[in-house]
Amino acid sequence: MTPFEHIESRQNNLVKDLRRLAEHKRARLDAGLVLCEGDHLLRTMLDAGVQPTVVAMAARTIRSDSIQALLAHCPNARMVTIADAVFDQIAPADSPVGLLALAPLPMSPTLPDFGSDTLVLEAVQDPGNVGSLIRTAVAAGVRQIVLSPGCADVWSPRCLRAAQGAQWLAHVYPDADPVAFLKRYQGVVAATTLDGGLNLYEQSLLKPLAWLFGNEGQGLSRALIDHATYRVTIPMSGSMESLNVNAAAAICLFEQVRQRQNHSPQA
């Protein structure tokens, strides 16, 4: 394993770079790097076949057996320990777990697949919501994510934490034109709406499908709704007027899973 370096100064160039990459999307794009925090995300990255270029640890974590075992799978990474006080200043989380990793910013195929299940997000602004939606989609077997401009940065540390690293298990298309995608999409397009749509549980979800989910407050734009095959609404018998976007997506995507499992040859 590569020997450890140790950093004490806040003025160290790597420390400055880590802070910029944690805080700014532009810095990540310019450097072509993504920064993740925590041993769980590093493990997910490694399981997806991605090798880190740098692993930086708070000095207090160096004796952790579990982290040492994980580092054994990063043979070519630059290994750095950082003084605890300095590390805690640059770590993105409010309660730093003591490990940061840098890796190449993943690149999806140039063009999306216009015939596979897809999650399309329009102006979903909260990084926690975007991450949770990606995690739910991947858990339901949807591995293509198209995000409009105005969505939270899919590779931000907060979004990675919320998704538990599911970005590495999907093809992600940030800052895409969802209307252009839908014009070429060959499957069914379902626009999720608060009311006035078809009952979710009465629709066949067996064919390839693009799910449209909109902004937390305003929902989907008319431009996207107009490109839908149909609008779908989740029936609710309680007194609440709406579900948050994460709950709505989970219900829709796992209704799709249920229907397909029931129609599989083994069912």
Residue 229's CB is within 10 A of a number of other CB atoms, namely 16
- Whole-angstrom distance, CA of residue 25 vs CA of residue 41: 19
Q: Which two tokens stand for residue 42?
A: 């590093």
For residue 162, which of 124, 105, 191, 218 has the smallest C-alpha distance?
124
Find the helix packing angle between 245-262 and 127-139, rounded to 10°: 10
Q: Which two tokens stand for residue 105?
A: 């910013």
- Please state which of the four CATH numbers 3.20.20.80, 3.50.50.60, 3.20.20.60, 3.40.1280.10 is assigned to the domain occupying 118-262: 3.40.1280.10
The pTM of this model reads: 0.93
- Whole-angstrom distance, CA of residue 1 vs CA of residue 35: 21
pLDDT at residue 4, as a whole number = 87
Chain-centroid distance, C-alpha 205: 24
pLDDT at residue 103, as a whole number = 97
pLDDT at residue 238, as a whole number = 66
Q: For each of the chain's 267 residues, which pLDDT tens digit applies?
A: 557 899 999 999 999 999 999 999 999 999 999 999 999 999 999 999 999 999 999 999 988 888 889 999 999 999 999 999 999 999 998 888 899 999 999 988 899 999 999 999 999 999 999 999 999 999 999 999 999 999 999 999 999 999 999 999 999 999 999 999 999 999 999 999 988 899 999 999 999 999 999 998 889 999 999 999 999 999 987 666 678 999 999 999 999 999 999 987 765
> Nearest 5°: CA angle at 148, between 147 and 150?
115
pLDDT at residue 228, as a whole number = 97
What pairing do the DSSP bridges indicate for beta strands 209-213 and 188-192? parallel
DSSP 111: S
Is 118-262 the same fold as 4-104? no
User: Which residues neighbour 185 within 8 Å (Cβ) at sequence distance 6 or greater?
Assistant: 114, 115, 118, 210
**Polymer length of the chain:** 267
For residue 248, which of 202, 215, 209 has the smallest C-alpha distance?
215
Question: Is the CB of residue 190 less than 8 Å from the CB of residue 212?
Answer: yes
Could you state, in order of their start, the residue ranges of all structural domains in the chain?
4-104, 118-262
Domain covering 4-104 assigned CATH 3.30.1330.30 in the classification: yes
For residue 155, which of 16, 26, 17 has the smallest C-alpha distance?
26
Question: Is the CB of residue 159 less than 8 Å from the CB of residue 128?
Answer: yes
Indicate the residue type of 119: L
pLDDT at residue 243, as a whole number = 84
Coil, strand or helix at 50: coil
